[in-house]
Structure 1
Amino acid sequence: MRQILAVAAGLVVLAASACSAPTAPRSATSPSATPTGPAVLPAPTGDHPVGTTILYVNDTSRPDPWNLDVQTRELKVTLWYPTEQEDGERAPYMTPKESELFLRGSEIAGVPSDTLSKTRTNAIEDAEPAGEKLPLVVLSPGFTNPMITLTSLAEDLASRGYVVAGIDHTYENYATIFPGGRVAECLACDSDTDPGFGTRVVQGRAADVSFVLDQLPSKWDGASLIDRSKIAMAGQSMGGASAMAAMLKDSRVRAGIDMDGTTYARIPKSGFSRPFMFLGSPQHTPGSRDNSWDRDWKLLTGWKRWLVLSGAEHQSFTDGPLMAGALGVKPAYGVLPAARVAELTRTYVAAFLDQHLKSKRQPLLDKPSSRYPEVKFCPATCGQS
């Protein structure tokens, strides 16, 4: 069941979390300030220009878990990757139709329906991939969120020398548009109060991840660049919970990051030894109402970190804060500035991946940093000002 948390005042319905609190009544949200114009994603911080392309794959071995009339599981996969191409058409953030359906589903009113389609990205559409032996990072979004809401993180990782495969889990967000204009809306939204809903979602997403890993070599021309011995997964909210589930199901996923997601997949009592990092808001401090991280922390027997960003909220780990100006939303008191929270998320996610996929030791992950005082190492420094 969902609990909707604010990333900014009036943006409380941007997407739902993977928490297990009762669903709160929702009402349409109107802008509380004058829109600033189209959003601009921050420039990637790595050395490489970034390309992006979209794949569509269809798993004929299993029926769709949400649409009982469909006997296969069809997925949209967005790839970001290094390229040598510096000029070209920037990829759209969303199509006007996707923007319309997302804003409608999120109940954000008072701005043009195509507002999010005008967001300026940094990746060049269908650019030629470049590099060799690149680690692969799978990204999974929060429930009701399309994959595109993790674009800022994906572009940054690609600029640092990673291939990123972002999965839209069909019927779990407000709208996935397939070739020919077919729209898959959020059928799963009708089931989110059912007992065992979270477990059902992460099990399905784990199967999605394994299928995408199986398909990449034959479906993407640039797949030969990927070092398939170096695969990690990260996600926000339900996507973060799915990172744990995917690692438990598929040994190809060597390391994982859960960004502010309640976990549902149960770790064996014997423990789990692959590297894992929790990166969350203060709602995930030790002893909080959501005790899933406390439970899992004790069962993580390998390299592990539990980091909490003071001043962050549930959607801080998405592009949500970066969209506030374009939507005319006035940030809530105490929320980290959009540029700062994007910097923190990118920095710590990249440090984790560099250490565990590129074997580059990251002292940043060893202890608190004066450069990033918002980041608390749990359980040691949680709650310290």
Structure 2
Amino acid sequence: MRHTLSVLTAALILSACEITSSGIDDEPIVEEGIQLPAHTGAFRVGTSSFSVVDADRDDEYTPEADMRELNVKIWYPADQEGLGTEIYMHPTVVELLAVTQDYMPPEDMIDALGSAATRATVGAPITSTIAQLPVVFWSHGLGGVNTLYTTFAGELASHGFLVVGIDHTYGAFATVFPDGTIQGIRTGANAPPFPEVVNIWAKDMASVLDHLETLNANDPDGLLTGRIDLTRVGATGHSTGGSAAAEVLTFDDRFSAAVTLDAPQVGAAAEGVGVDDPILLFFADPSDYAGTLVADRLRAQGYSASVAGMNHYSFTDLPILLELAGVPDADRQASRRPPGTLDPARNNEIINAWSLAFFDRYLRGGAGALLESGAGYPEVTLQAIGQVGAPLP
């Protein structure tokens, strides 16, 4: 049984925007408004969306025997444009954020999120120059949505990766399913304990990878058939999503590398069996989540990096979006969730460069020299962690 948002929230939505029941593949495209920064890779970026129902999994968020259902968005390298530039965020989710959250005054939130266009085009064919694409899963923070990381996902795609963003149902701020049903976030007594949430999200990644295996064998839409390199799969995520990216390494051997972005160190990676695969732990400076729990249980090469001037929300699109929307810096910094003090363009450059260097090395066999030298990034304090073959402490 699906449980929709509260009556009050629903009323606010209905008064603020028009809700349609069209599928997520039918999200509108835009021709003008704020446009996200250009990507630096050699490829254009295509995007597509679909939903996954795991008939073999009960949804641990609900007391009923529901099957776990997830919305998924993919970004991938393309040679040509598709049908048009995709909007940044589903209009319903924009209005929900504006009326229920305090990132910014509602009008600023709508300006920043509602008028933004991505650099991705809908329905573009995958590039013909890469036979099979390495895969990076992207997991949002608790109360976020996968499109809040579009600049980073698109950057990886422009460099030749298939990026798979999951909206973790009941953990995402709001999930709009293909039939128009809206599911809100569950927290506190209405959600499992936090370590269990991390494990659920990690299992979401595994479920979606199962689905990608099916699509790689035979995609009814023809987009992904034979185009996924299932031997080169990594995961990344912000906050709770980063914890889940580390967690999935502990039980699913199909995943072989992870980047965590200011993520709590909980779950099996931090307090249990540990990790046998390369990992990059990226932290704000200061961070509530820095520490050595994951490093102490890492039996592979890894890195820990902290970035001066970043805070927890620096690892989202908010810094660059709010700047593009013309929100004064004083207003940004006075909000409950300020986006850090680094220049937004530099902020994104650091996250993109380090994530790309890591996944290039561990999923494609590239040099990843930045991971050793840190050259050109004085804001980043880098430490090597882990030990190949080290016993569990």
**TM-score, with structure 2 as normaliser:** 0.80
Contact 1:64–1:71, Cα closer than 8 Å, also in 2: yes
Deviations 1:187-242 (A, max 9, x none): x22448x8x72201111011101110000133443142111100000001101011
**Correspondence 1:5-44 to 2 at 5 A:** 38-44=33-39
Q: Within 2, Cα distance between the matches of 1:145 and 1:329?
A: 23
Identity among equivalent positions (%) equals 29
Aligned match of 1:246: 248
Q: Quick check: 1:39–1:322 contact (8 Å CA) kept in 2?
A: no
Corresponding residue for 1:197? 193
**1:262 corresponds to which of 256, 261, 264:** 264
Give, in whole Å, the separation in 1 of the partners of 2:80 and 2:250: 38
Greater Cα offset, 221-230 or 140-149? 221-230
Structure 2 distance, partners of 1:204, 1:349, is 24
Corresponding position of 1:125: 122
Mapping of 1:128-167 within 5 angstroms? 128-130=125-127, 131-167=130-166
Q: CA deviation at 1:327?
A: 7.2
What is residue 73 of structure 2 aligned with on the other side?
78
Structure 1 residue 60, shift from structure 2 partner? 1.4
- Over 3 Å counting, the alpha-carbon distance change for 1:368 and 1:128 in structure 2 is closer
- Cα distance change on mapping 1:182 and 1:83 into 2, 3 Å: same
Distance 2:170 2:294 in 1: 28
Q: Describe the SS at the equivalent of 1:127.
A: coil
Matched to 2:310, the amino acid is A
Q: Considering only aligned residues, what root-mean-square deviation do their CA atoms show, in Å?
A: 2.3
Q: Name whichever of 81-90 and 239-248 sits farther off.
A: 81-90
Conservation of the 8 A alpha-carbon contact between 2:170 and 2:183: yes
- C-alpha distance in 1 between matches for 2:189 and 2:48: 32
Correspondence for 2:373 among 367, 371, 374: 367
Count of aligned positions: 335
Write the letter of the residue equivalent to 2:207.
F
Deviation at 1:96, TM superposition (A): 1.8
Instruction: Find 1:92's aligned residue among 83, 87, 93.
Output: 87
Gap runs ≥5 in structure 2: 1-31, 386-393
Structure 1, gaps ≥5 residues long: 1-36, 381-385
Q: Which residue of 1 aligns with 2:10?
A: none
TM-score (norm 1): 0.81
Q: Distance in 2 between matches of 1:280 and 1:154?
A: 19
Per-residue deviation, residues 64-95 of structure 1 (Å, max 9, x unmatched): 22233461110001000011113640111112
Q: Which moves more between the two structures, 58-67 or 355-364? A: 58-67
Given that 1:96 and 1:114 are in contact with CA atoms closer than 8 Å, whether structure 2 keeps it comes out as no
Pick from 38, 59, 65: which aligns with 1:64? 59
Distance, in Å, in 2 between the alignment partners of 1:239 and 1:271 is: 17
Equivalent AA in structure 1 for residue 76 of structure 2: Y
User: Which stretches of structure 1, 4 residues or longer, exceed 6 Å deviation after superposition?
Assistant: none
C-alpha deviation, 1:273, in angstroms? 2.5
Instruction: Work out the CA distance in 2 between the residues paired with 1:48 and 1:223.
Output: 20
More strand by share: 2
Partners of 1:94 and 1:253 in 2: CA distance:
28
Partners of 2:76 and 2:363 in 1: CA distance = 16
Structure 1 residues 44 and 238, CA gap change in structure 2 (3 angstroms) = same
3-state SS, counterpart of residue 117 of structure 2 = coil
1:276 to 1:223, Cα distance in 2 relative to 1, 3 A: farther
Alignment correspondent of 1:227: 229
Secondary structure at the counterpart of residue 139 of structure 1: strand
Contact 1:97 1:114 in 2 (8 A): no
Question: In structure 2, how many angstroms separate the alpha carbons of the residues matched to 1:347 and 1:118?
Answer: 27
Structure 1 contact 312–341 (Cα < 8 Å) conserved: yes
| 2:292 counterpart (280, 291, 294) | 294
Match of 2:381 among 376, 380, 383: 376
SS of 1:263's partner is: coil
